[in-house]
Amino acid sequence: MHKVIIYKGIKTPTQSGNSKAKFWYLKFDEDSIYEEDFMTGWKGNVNPIKKIKIKFSTLERAIEYAQNKNYKYQILNESNKKIKVKSYADNFKFNRNKSDID
């Protein structure tokens, strides 16, 4: 049985659009894919399943797909990062605190 991770896409830093941020993705957990060779102890695999990433329009559809395939799934919640509002001129302050650099 494969383990999968379901997560919401994020906005790419090089583009101004939010098209990738509205979809949910399902990818296979890499730990569940590798198999250990009994002679050498090396972990390896010839299965290309780790490269597969499936796109869904909603979280419910991604969960339904994982349940239909009998995959163990883990949902990663969205992280809503708060943006600290600051001025560009603050970068050039003479007496700035260490907390201003963050």
- Whole-prediction pTM value? 0.64
For residues 27 and 97, the model is more confident at: 27
pLDDT at residue 46, rounded to an integer: 67
Domain that holds residue 65: 3-101
* 23 phi and psi angles, rounded to 5 deg: -105, 155
Domains in the chain, number: 1
Q: What is the CATH number of the domain that holds 94?
A: 3.30.160
Q: Which residues face 75 on adjacent strands?
A: 6
For 43-81, write each residue's pLDDT tens digit.
777 677 778 899 999 999 999 999 999 999 999 987 667
